[in-house]
Structure 1
Amino acid sequence: MTQNKNLNILFTSAGRRVELIKHFKEIYEELRIDGMLFTTDVKSNSPAGFISDKHILVPRVDSKDYISKLLEVCKEHQISLLIPLIDTELVLLSTYKKSFEDIGVKVLISDVRTHEICNDKGLTAQFFASKGFGTPKSYNINKELKNENIDNRLLIKPAKGSSSIGVHILTTIDELKFYSENIEEPILQEFIEGDEYTIDIFTDFEGNILTAVPRLRIETRAGEVSKGKTVKNPLLIQKAKELVSALPGAMGCITVQCFLTKDNEVKFIEINPRFGGGVPLSLAAGADYAKYLIESLANRVISFDINDWENNLLMLRYDAAVFVNEDKQ
């Protein structure tokens, strides 16, 4: 059975997500899908906007008009699926999910309770501990400041943040004092040594887990993976699936970060319930969630096994650019 109307997808806050949009376009061409890929952003020179079929300017996420503008865009362009791409809009969009569903738009987003947990690293740490998942030990900053020195390396970070901004490793009390006074809502945890992984967990539209793909973070730049490798580690896959199953109403692409210690212990540190920057590696390995979403929306039989993804596939990212004449925008 094929779709009865054009299949249009909207990516909000598209920014620099060029690789992801390109991949969706390739799947449209491969499957001969009738439809368009739309992007929104506050800037007209968003790189992803030059890759999509149509780029639309919208207010900032914190504007009172943001949701009404997105609803207007969805109605005007008959959007079938809305895919949010940045953390700051997830709680808001999950709150208004029904408003989009009422006009026939699916939103690839989890329940608001999950986004509230994931948006605050303090709540995330509490969630890990309450559900019995391994996670770095948390410390009371005021209590630690009373000590004369730090026995072991500690890590301090803001409760709300992304791209590793504001994350610092501490070895002295002076450093703890400085950063605790200069980071908004700081969280203090033990420093974990081990191999760092990002795990992409994909679900269907009902929240049923389809697959989980661990990616070894070989090298990062500005908090985003620049060199990575897929690793079929059964322990990581099992723990990641258990974690997502424990989240309230998790749906879509759930990206979790963890360390695998030398003692083979999994220590979860973060959850991002959206497409992560390194997700093109999982898609290229064969866990092609973009293809799954498109075939599902088009009411087609899923043509591949999303669990049959390639092990030890390396991703080596490099800088690229979009060139456009400003006078012809």
Structure 2
Amino acid sequence: MKKLNVLVFPCGAENAGEIAQALRYSVHVNRLIGLSSCEDHGRFHFNDYVGDAPYIDAADFAAWFTDFLATQQIDVIFATHDTVCEKLAPLVARFGCYLVNGDAQTTRIARRKSLTWELFKDQSWAPRCYGQDEQPAQWPVIVKPDCGQGGNGVALAHNQAELAERVKNTPMPLIVEYLPGKEITVDCFTDRHGKLIWVGPRTRERVRAGIAMRSESVTADEKITAIAEQINKRLKMRGPWFFQLKQNSLQEWKLLEISCRIAGTMVAQRARGVNLPLMALHDFMNRDIVPLVTPHVDYIDRAIRTRAHTTLPYRSVYIDLDDTLIIKGQANPVVMAFIYQSRSEGKRIFLLTRHEYEPLASLENAAISSRLFDEIIHLQAGEKKSLSVTGPAIFIDNFFPERLDVAQYDDVLVLDVDAVDFYIK
């Protein structure tokens, strides 16, 4: 099986960091490369980092970028900004590698709220828009830039004089009805067959610089799901994407925007077991995807790093050996940190493995003490790990079929290797 060279561009933003966290332990990734046009935080997200790319509006960008794709043998690209995604879509299409959600027509429409709202103007959830010479039917109204994001440049106008001032000071201004109600983001995933396989609404409880710092999962009811299905039907999606809804005074959902990129707070889905960036790689490899959602996480809260809160009062931790505890012959420092943390809290630690060699020798070679474990359970080929797991417990394994089998137990929280960091205090 070929391992993939994955490019994240630009790589310094919050959502780029989420992609890095989501993919850093994947056995399907050969190189995870961060690319930026300036020195930024991407250097801390990506060990494989390039910070001197031309800006996308530079005359030499297209030639430089296509040469970079060829020399680095890039298979998959994540664009982390809407404008970058629109810019790369026709360029990458000619080159031949895969840009996640990179359909040229879709990226163009999604980048502009005016085109988005025009496409869905026949839907009841499309917001009421006004021309610049049109008298609003009701005050106040919102003025926002056509190509804005993260709430930047959004202004409220209570009368005609304020409206004229807001329009004058807003680039590519749009005038739209004021929506005073609740706001949600809906994370979605469309597979290579055009099938919408994930709809995950979440709240925006506490927002800083347009980024939701606390987010709680919301049920995808019939109305929200119908909106997602309609968007997926009219736009060509493949991979992770999201849209935002806000309620009017009658508590009816109205569309704010659609985006073809990973959202920074898509980490809320990963905390629940749905790793959207990794799903994009599996879809690229022509694999069918089944989201495996844990019922034991109710919200995330963010500061500098992300933590997940579990409602499960677990007493034991079961950990796989190969590509989980030991990766490329070295101890996984995050998993090791979790083991020590769990021991200090009085949890029982079990090493559960079908390792082809003697586990004690492999542990010693990786400088891991066998005394960390209450028991080392060495299974033979064909023996199910699920038969050795007793809840309430946490089960950590990089292999999806193992997690899927153990997930049958309601009192076991199953984690891929990338998710362990959520539980480091």
TM-score when normalising by structure 2: 0.66
Contact 2:207 2:213 in 1 (8 A): yes
CA distance in structure 2 between the partners assigned to 1:301 and 1:162 by the alignment:
32
CA positional deviation for 1:250: 1.8
Contact 2:199 2:220 in 1 (8 A): no
Provide the residue aligned with 1:134 in structure 2: 125
Provide the residue aligned with 1:64 in structure 2: 59
CA distance in structure 2 between the partners assigned to 1:312 and 1:268 by the alignment:
27
CA distance in structure 1 between the partners assigned to 2:144 and 2:203 by the alignment:
22
Where in structure 2 are the equivalents of 1:68-87 lying within 5 Å? 68-87=63-82
Provide the residue aligned with 2:46 in structure 1: 52
Provide the residue aligned with 1:205 in structure 2: 192
CA positional deviation for 1:247: 2.8
Provide the residue aligned with 1:25 in structure 2: 24
Provide the residue aligned with 2:149 in structure 1: 162
Q: For the structure 1 residues 245 and 294, does the alpha-carbon distance in structure 2 shift closer, same or farther, using more than 3 Å as the test?
A: closer
Give the counterpart of 2:34 among 25, 39, 52.
39
CA RMSD after TM alignment: 2.4
Contact 2:268 2:300 in 1 (8 A): yes
Q: For the structure 1 residues 271 and 110, does the alpha-carbon distance in structure 2 shift closer, same or farther, using more than 3 Å as the test?
A: same
CA distance in structure 2 between the partners assigned to 1:34 and 1:88 by the alignment:
26
- Give the fraction of aligned pairs with identical amino acids, expressed as a percent: 22
Amino acid at match of 1:7: L
1:46-77 CA distance string (max 9 Å, x none): 21232213111210011232232222222222
CA distance in structure 2 between the partners assigned to 1:143 and 1:261 by the alignment:
21
Contact 1:128 1:268 in 2 (8 A): no
Provide the residue aligned with 1:326 in structure 2: none
CA distance in structure 2 between the partners assigned to 1:261 and 1:139 by the alignment:
16
Where in structure 2 are the equivalents of 1:207-222 lying within 5 Å? 207-222=194-209
5+ unaligned residues in a row in structure 2: which ranges?
306-425
Q: Residue 267 of structure 1: SS of its match in structure 2?
A: strand
Q: For the structure 1 residues 245 and 19, does the alpha-carbon distance in structure 2 shift closer, same or farther, using more than 3 Å as the test?
A: closer
Provide the residue aligned with 1:9 in structure 2: 6
Q: Which runs of 4+ in 1 moved over 6 A?
A: none
CA distance in structure 1 between the partners assigned to 2:210 and 2:222 by the alignment:
25
Contact 1:230 1:310 in 2 (8 A): no
CA distance in structure 2 between the partners assigned to 1:263 and 1:317 by the alignment:
31
Amino acid at match of 2:157: L
Q: For the structure 1 residues 214 and 163, does the alpha-carbon distance in structure 2 shift closer, same or farther, using more than 3 Å as the test?
A: same
CA distance in structure 2 between the partners assigned to 1:190 and 1:24 by the alignment:
40
CA distance in structure 1 between the partners assigned to 2:72 and 2:236 by the alignment:
28
CA positional deviation for 1:297: 4.7
5+ unaligned residues in a row in structure 1: which ranges?
321-329
TM-score when normalising by structure 1: 0.83
CA positional deviation for 1:152: 2.3
Q: For the structure 1 residues 136 and 33, does the alpha-carbon distance in structure 2 shift closer, same or farther, using more than 3 Å as the test?
A: closer
Number of matched residues? 302
Q: Residue 199 of structure 2: SS of its match in structure 1?
A: strand
CA positional deviation for 1:133: 4.4
